[in-house]
Structures are given as C-alpha cells and as structure tokens.
Amino acid sequence: MIPRGVRYALSGISWPVYVLLYTPLALVAYYSFSPAPNSTGHSLHAYNILLHDGAVAAALRRSLILAFGSAITSTALGTLLGYGLCRFRNANAKGFLAHLPSLIIYTPIIMPSLVFGISELIFFNFVHNATGLLGAGLVTMVIAHITFQVPYVALTVFARLSGLDPYLFEASYDLYANGVKSFFYLIVPVVQPAIIGGFLLGITLSIDDFTISFFTSGPGSVTLPIYIYGAIARKGISPEINALGTLMIGTIISLALIQFFITRHRERAGQLSARGKIA
Amino acid sequence: MSTMPSEVAIEAGRQRLRLWVTAGPGLVWIMLFLLIPSAILLGIAFFSADDYGNPVLPLSLSPFQQVAGYSLLGWDSGNIAIFLRSLAQAGTATLVSAALSYPLVFFIMSRPESLRPLLLLFIILPSWTNQVVRTYAWLELLGPNAPVSWLAHALHLVPPDLGLAPGSFAVTTGLAYNYLPYMIVPLYASAEKLDWTLVEAGRDLYASGARLFWSTVFPQTLPGLLSGVIFVAIPAFGDYVVPQLLGGDRALMIGSLIANQFTETPDWPYGAALTIIMLVFTGLGLVAFRILTRKLGGAEEATI
C-alpha cells in the first residue's frame, strides 16, 4: 500500500514524535529522584517526604472519593439515559422538543471546561447564599464531575444498544418479561461491557480534570491536581511535586496498559473459541 | 373502531412515561447543574458590577464596553491583543497537531494490524495523565535551566537567563501536546476507511508522490481532519491550565483573562461578557465547520 521509501520517512518522523511525547513525563520522573539536601546521587528522599505528608494523603483520599463517587452515580444516570433514549424515544417526532435530549446531552461535551467551571462556581455560590446548602467543597465537586461524565456514559451505552437486534426486546416481552425484568436480565448483561467502559471513562475523565475541579472546590476540598497546582504557584516545582507527579503518571499508564491487554486477551480468547466452534 | 385510537394513545402515553423514568433523571441533572448555571452566567453579563465585582441592578451594557477595551482611563488595545493572541495560539497548535498527525496516522497504518491499537494507545496515553501534571512537565523541559533552553541561548533565540518557558512558544507546544490525540483519533478513523484502490489508480497513472497525496489521500481523510480541527481548536482557544502554567504574564490568553474576573480581581459582569464573546467565537467556528463539512460532502457523525 505504502511504498518503502515513504514508510522509512514516516518512521523517521514518527519515532522521534513518540519519544517527544514521553520526554516531559520522563523528566518529571528523573527529577523526582534528585538527591536529598547536603548529599549527592539519586535518592528516594522526595518519596520519603511525600509518604509522611498528611496533606498529600488527604488530597489523595479526596481525589479517590471524587473519582469513584462521581463515576458510580454518573454510570447509573448515564446508563438509564442511554437506554431510555435508545428504546423509548419516538423516532418520528419532529420539532424542538424532539431534539431537546440531544441538545442537553451534547452541551457538557461541547462547552469549554472553563465556562463549565465558572458556571458551576456562580450557581453554587448563589444557591449557597440563598439556602445555606451546597457550600463549595467535595459535594459540589462531585456534582460537577457527575454532570460532565453522564453524557459520555450515555453515549457509550447508546452506541452499544443501537447496534443490537431490536427483536431481542420483542423476544423478552414474548417470554413475559416486564420492563424492569427485561432491563435487568436482558439489557444489563448485554450492555455490561459498555457500562463498565462508561464507568472507566468516567474515572479517567475525573482524574484528568483540573479546571472544573478548581472552580468548584473549596478551601477544605483540595484534591491532588489542585494541591500540585497550588504548590507550583506558591514555590515552584519541587522534588516532592515531581515524585507525586511520577506516581500519578505511573498509576494511570499502568492501569491503561493492564486494561488494554486484558481486553485484547479476552477478544483473542473469544475469537479462538468462536473458531473452535465452527471447526 | 373507536377503541383503537385510544389504545394507541395509551401506548404512546406509556412510552412517554418510560422515557421520562429512564432518561428523565440524567437530563434533569444536566439541566439543573449545567444549563441553568450557564444561563445565569450569561445573564450576569447584562448587570452592573458593585465595588466587590458582584452583579447588581441596573441592567447595563458597560461590561461589553469593557470587553471592547473602554474603561474610565480611555480605550486600551489589551483585550483585542489577548483575543488575537488566543486565536493565533489555538490556530498554531491546531496546525502543528495536524502536521504531526498525518505522518503518525500513516505510520501506524503501515505497521502490522496487530500492533496498530498499541501504537495508537501510546499516542493517547499521555493525555490520560492529569492536565496539571502533563502541562507542568513541559516546564521542566523548556524552563530556564533545561538543556533545550541552553540550545535556544546558543542560537540567540531567547535572551540569557530566560527559558523557553514561560512564553508563547511553550504555550503553543503545551496546547499541541494536550490536544494531539483529539486530532489523531478522528484522522485515524477516516484513514482506516481509506479506499486504497484510488491510490493505486493514481499510481498507475504515474502521479507523483505529492500529487498522489493531495488528490487521493487528502480528500478522503478530510472529514477526519475537519473533526480533528474542531476538537483541537475549540478547547485550545479557551484553555486555562496551559497558558496559566506555561504562559506567564507575557502570553496571557482569553481563558486566564476570564478566570481572573472570578478569582483574583472579581468583576463578574465583565467576566461573563468576556465569556459570551468567547462562546460567540467558538460558535462561529462550529458553524463555519458545519458549512465547510457539508460543502465537502463528508463527516457522517454518529448522533444520539
């Protein structure tokens, strides 16, 4: 397809780009092993400080609560949303109301995260001044994170369901399954990969986010990214920040690779067993 | 005869109820926690600001005059410069990522099929690390004490004791780095569907390499490229973290300017007016993209 000369040129451009993509991340790791004060040579000094830093531990705990709390809720809301839109929406309906659900779902995706974050800041501020509820903190952060995850989960589940044979639903009704039963015994198992995918996507989006967290957080809800941002703004990059960055980079890369190879292994196994059945 | 329509009506009503029970909670959630808040934000732009920057009556258009650069001290070109700089930064970052994406995508396509997902994953992986971490990482590569900056000193590109970061070069690099996957993924999707027989036909007609690319490969991958341009340009234009960490005072972008009106020097109506102008620019970009895509007859998007 691609002539040999062109392939060499493509490799010549691409491998350096791959190296460049990981150079900054590698530098973070490199500087995290910098020597302890008054000594030379690489050391785990920064990691040692990090381990005994209560603020970092608290920030990590909040980050995990934020990621899992928001992803679990948004998976529930998003799965129902994707299911409902796929199954119960009148496909022939015309007009503004018929387009409203799509409009609502795409808003969080299209909206620049800065506008998203500031909108939440103002809204929670007004609500708090009026009612005393929802002061800026972990709760408002979880609410905001759920809001940007729901559409992604809904789209993932919707995509999976719309690829299904519609007669499956008919068949479940013929077997006297009511709506709730058919949801739990047919839909949930069938879309399970999409639900898990949506959940993992939600966690990834939550961990990746800084801007929206920044504008919805309060003084008592510093998460890891906000901690790092604040530390850099106050006193620049320190070996401890690099150590923390290294751990975050390492965790996410390992998780992604593990997930990738597990999925691939399953797919291969599935293909092999399918082939075995045919033969 | 007479029972039929009512049964149909009852069934339609049931269907509507099911839709509300399933899709309702998610839709109401997004309306309550995003649509209403953003409507409030946009509304604030038409109020006056009190001494603390909070919105108060009477309604006024002075926030928009502030956006245009008018204040008590007369007219200032600062805001226009920031807008133009943001456009230029987003534009350059989009160009850089498009220019890198083509060779990368076809490099991946030229590898064995079993390796391709892994090669694609390694391009996307850095973007899964936290935004702050992957952005400040560039400070270490481009900062005043880094080897790259020594090279820049040697070539007299930057004055000594200043690094490449913070500055506009670092912002462009950071934006391109952050949003490269958003260009690669749609471009890869359209390259996978490429009809290679057209390329072969062109080769049989002795088309040169460049000619072959422009008349067979490029038109077929244009839908992917256009989606990529939108996915990169829009978030890059309003980005907050990259200019904040890598820009310093010399490369202020619209995102930081807006954020400052809600954090450091509060003036909510002014900040809201800036947001409206930013969204208008974004919206114009989207509309232009839709028209362009339709004219070129591409980009069938999967829609809900």
Residue B301, pLDDT score: 47
CB distance A32 to A47 below 8 Å: yes
- Could you say which of B104, B110, B255 has the minimum Cβ distance to residue A2? B110
Partner B contacted by A47 (CB < 8 A): no
Complete domains list, chain A, with CATH? 58-278 (1.10.3720.10)
Domain boundaries, chain B: 3-67, 77-296
Give residue B304's pLDDT band: very low, low, confident or very high (50, 70, 90). Answer: very low
If residue A112 lies in a helix (H) or strand (E), which one and from where to where? none
> Do the Cβ atoms of A88 and B34 come within 8 Å?
no
Tens-digit pLDDT profile for residues B206-244: 777 777 778 778 878 888 888 888 888 888 888 888 888
- Residues 6+ away with beta carbon under 8 Å from A215: A117, A118, A120, A121, B259, B262
- Give chain B positions within 8 Å (CB) of A85: 19, 23, 304
> Do B194 and B218 form a contact (C-beta atoms < 8 A)?
no
Hey, is the C-beta of B289 within 8 angstroms of any chain A C-beta? Answer: no
Q: What is the DSSP string of B163-201?
A: -S-SSHHHHHHHHHHHHHHHHHHHHHHHHHT--HHHHHH
Q: Identify the band that residue B175 occupies on the pLDDT scale cut at 50, 70 and 90.
A: very high
Q: Measure the CA–CA gap between A245 and B176, rounded to whole angstroms.
A: 21
User: Which residues of chain B neighbour A253 with C-beta distances below 8 Å?
Assistant: 125, 128-129
Of the candidates A111, A114, A207, the beta carbon closest to that of B240 is on: A114
Instruction: Enumerate residues 6+ apart whose C-beta is below 8 A from A240.
Output: A46, A49, A50, A53, A231
Find the mean pLDDT for residues A268-273. 72
pTM across the whole model: 0.84
Which of A118, A127, A238 is most worth mutating to test chain B (most B CB atoms within 10 A of its CB)?
Answer: A118
- Put simply, the answer to whether A249 touches B107 (Cβ < 8 Å) is no
Contact (CB<8Å) A25/B137? yes
Cβ within 8 Å, pair A6-B27: no
pLDDT at residue A18, rounded to an integer: 92
CB A244 within 8 A of CB A228: yes
Average pLDDT of the residues in A37-41: 71
Strand (E) positions, chain A? none
If you search the block for the tokens 């060499």, which residue do you land on? Answer: A8
Please give the pLDDT value at position B5. 66
Q: Measuring CA to CA, how many Å separate A44 from each of A41, A57, A216, B189?
A: 10, 18, 34, 43
Residue B49 forms beta bridges with which residues? B55
Who has greater pLDDT, A137 or A147?
A147
pLDDT at B299 > cutoff 60: no
CA distance A279 to chain B (A): 23
Q: What is the CATH number of domain B77-296?
A: 1.10.3720.10
Per the listing, tokens 């960055």 go with: A245
Please provide the average confidence, as pLDDT, over all residues in chain B: 81
Predicted complex ipTM exceeds 0.90: no
Q: Are A137 and A218 in contact (CB under 8 A)?
A: yes
Task: Report whether pLDDT(A75) > 80.
Answer: yes
A268 touches chain B (CB under 8 A): no
Question: Which is nearest to B89 in space by CA: B182, B175, B183?
Answer: B175
**A215-246: pLDDT as tens digits:** 998 888 899 999 999 888 888 888 888 888 99
Of A17, A102, A118, the CB nearest to B104: A17
Pick B128's closest partner by Cβ from A82, A108, A256: A256
Q: Does A73 touch chain B (CB under 8 A)?
A: no
Residues 238-257 of A with CB under 8 A from B: 241-242, 245, 248-249, 252-253, 256-257
